[in-house]
């Protein structure tokens, strides 16, 4: 699974989805995690819907988005793009969120996480 984090520094989840200028993308499964890249989302257009569409386009590889806040319109648009938005407390460390995510995958994943996990597995099979 690919996980995007709205973060100003790559260390902590500290950004509102619509205001975030950077996202950090990781590939995660039960046993492994790998940093993929830093995504610059600062060249956003003017209009609100255009801005949201642009932001979503920058994280289109993600299956899950971690952020501190996300508005209802943005949340619906993110979900329509096949990305699950997860709100967390401001300042949670990305490393801690990744550890928790791996623990959930290994133990008893919630339904939303199982859906995203199997969606990813189906996508990987179609690429082979």
Q: CA–CA separation, 72 vs 92, rounded Å?
A: 22
Strands (E), the chain: 2-6, 12-13, 22-28, 33-40, 64-67, 84-87, 92-93
pLDDT at site 123: 61
Per DSSP, 65 falls in state E
Q: Where are the domains of the chain?
A: 2-127
Round the average pLDDT of the chain to a whole number and report it: 92
Residue 127 has pLDDT above 80, yes or no: no
- The model's pLDDT over 55-90, given as tens digits with 9 standing for 90+, comes to 999 999 999 999 999 999 999 999 999 999 999 999
Specify the pTM.
0.91
Q: CA–CA separation, 126 vs 56, rounded Å?
A: 23
Q: CA–CA separation, 29 vs 43, rounded Å?
A: 31
Q: CA–CA separation, 19 vs 12, rounded Å?
A: 15
- The model's pLDDT over 10-54, given as tens digits with 9 standing for 90+, comes to 999 999 999 999 999 999 988 999 999 999 999 988 888 899 999
The class level of CATH for 2-127 reads alpha beta
């Amino acid at each position: 699974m690919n996980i995007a984090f709205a973060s100003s520094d790559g260390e902590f989840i500290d950004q509102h989805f619509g205001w975030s200028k950077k996202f950090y993308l990781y590939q995660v499964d039960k046993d492994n995690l790998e940093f993929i890249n830093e995504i610059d989302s600062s060249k956003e257009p003017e209009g609100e819907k255009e801005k949201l569409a642009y932001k979503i386009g920058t994280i289109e590889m993600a299956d899950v988005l971690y952020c501190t806040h996300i508005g209802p319109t943005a949340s619906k648009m993110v979900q329509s793009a096949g990305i699950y938005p997860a709100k967390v407390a401001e300042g949670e460390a990305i490393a801690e969120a990744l550890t928790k995510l791996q623990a959930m995958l290994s133990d008893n994943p919630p339904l939303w996480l199982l859906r995203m996990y199997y969606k990813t597995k189906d996508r990987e099979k179609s690429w082979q």
